[in-house]
Amino acid sequence: MDKLQSPSMFIGVRGKGIISFGSGQPDLPPPESIFKILPGYRSFKYGLIQGNLNLRKALSKEYQGSDEDNFVVTNGASEALDLTFRAIESLEGEGTNILVHAPYYYSYIPLIKFDHLKPVLTETIAGKIDIDDFDRKVRDCKAALINSPSNPTGRVQDIKTLKQIEKICRDLNKVIISDEVYKDLIYERENYLLHGDNVITINSFSKTYSMCGYRVGYLYSNDKKIVNKAIEIKTYSSMNTNILSQEMAYEALKVPRSYVDKQVKIWKERRNVIYDGLQKLGLELWKPEGAFYVLPKIDNPRKAVWTLFKKYKVITYLGEWFGAPGRIRLSYALDSKDIGEGLKRIGKYLKEN
């Protein structure tokens, strides 16, 4: 059971009969049009560190008031987060505090620490940010990291809260790092995107376009100091992001909104299946409003994750990895039939243990 140190033991694990509620990778295919460039593609030289110009230009059309110089195209949102933290460390100094709302995406805390910054936690109420606690704690931090819709809670912060966060951070001269990789996967209302000169937006093609293996993401900021620092760090670390993947991402941006709407409809159906199913099994959980995760409470989560895997061939993640002890996280990025089978096995586990 001590093997349950981190999600790495489950990432990429597939096998006969395994139902994986593990990693958050969409099973729905990317838009077909991203593949059409493949047969004729012959470029093989280094690309621009900042990212392909056509892709940055296309991205700038999505963000009012931006231009291609405001973007750095990265190896997924993961590298965008890493570059952002490293840029902040470089500009603000080692040990700078970063406010993170818990439960949080499991990479945040290790990444912040790897980059010599210090995470400070603000708790949430049923996954929603407690604005008073946020207001108190952000004063000792340089930046606040916001992730809405959230991995692992599936919760979407209320528009009122997001606007309060914008105002507090603007007034106090704090940076907002807005991880919006699930911004298009939202079920309950229109989204509201944090914006302003103090906002660093993180996004990715992994979730909206089901392109996680191609590793394309980006950071967007109106602050040239951040953008230039990120380019400088990338110059000496990963260099350019895969140029072929960037061309595929460029094609993905051209697909009509109906592609995303269709995906969201499927995600919502699955959300209903897993939410209702887990409730029927007697587990207590918050209703996801976006993304594709649930975070139910369970007795002895360590035993549950281990036994579900070993005996029932069901992969789930430990809530502890996300700052949510007493819970397990399930991704519902699999079809409804498999979700149903997984729920059956979880029911069996609950009965037999």
Ligand X SMILES: Cc1ncc(COP(=O)(O)O)c(C=O)c1O
The encoded tokens of residue 92 equal 């603000």
**Reduced to 3 states, what is the DSSP secondary structure of residue 147?**
strand
Rounded distance between C-alpha atoms, residue 50 and residue 9, angstroms:
33
Burial class (CB in 10 A: 0-12, 13-18, 19+), 204: buried
Phi, psi of 72 (to 5 degrees): -125, 125
Query: Closest distance between ligand X and the C-beta of residue 181, in Å?
Result: 5
Minimum CB–partner distance for residue 71 and ligand X (Å): 15
Cα–Cα distance between 314 and 22 in angstroms, integer? Answer: 9
Q: Minimum distance between the CB of residue 156 and ligand X, rounded to whole angstroms?
A: 13
CB of 322 to ligand X, least distance (A): 10
Cβ proximity to ligand X, 215 vs 229, nearer residue: 215
What is the distance between the alpha carbons of residues 209 and 91, in angstroms, rounded to a whole number?
33
Residue type at 99 in one-letter notation: L
Task: Check: CB of residue 169 under 8 Å from CB of residue 138.
Answer: yes
Instruction: Give yes or no for a contact between 122 and 132, defined as CB atoms under 8 angstroms apart.
Output: no
- Considering beta carbons, is residue 214 or 309 the nearer one to ligand X? 214
CA distances from 46 to 42, 125, 321 (A): 13, 47, 37
How many Cβ atoms sit within 10 Å of the Cβ of residue 5? 9
Q: How far is the CB of 168 from ligand X (least distance, A)?
A: 22
146/349 with CB nearer ligand X: 146
Q: Which one, 206 or 245, has the nearer CB to ligand X?
A: 206
Least distance from C-beta 211 to ligand X, angstroms? Answer: 9
31 DSSP 8-state letter:
P
Residues at the contact surface with ligand X, assessed by CB under 6 A: 24, 76-78, 105, 147, 151, 179, 181, 204, 206, 212, 217
Nearer to ligand X, 20 or 206 (CB): 206
Nearer to ligand X, 34 or 312 (CB): 34
* Token couple for 170: 């603007």
Instruction: Give the Cα separation of 94 and 97 in Å (integer).
Output: 9
Least Å distance, CB 1 to ligand X, is 25
Nearer to ligand X, 122 or 147 (CB): 147
Select the residue whose beta carbon is closest to ligand X and give its number: 76
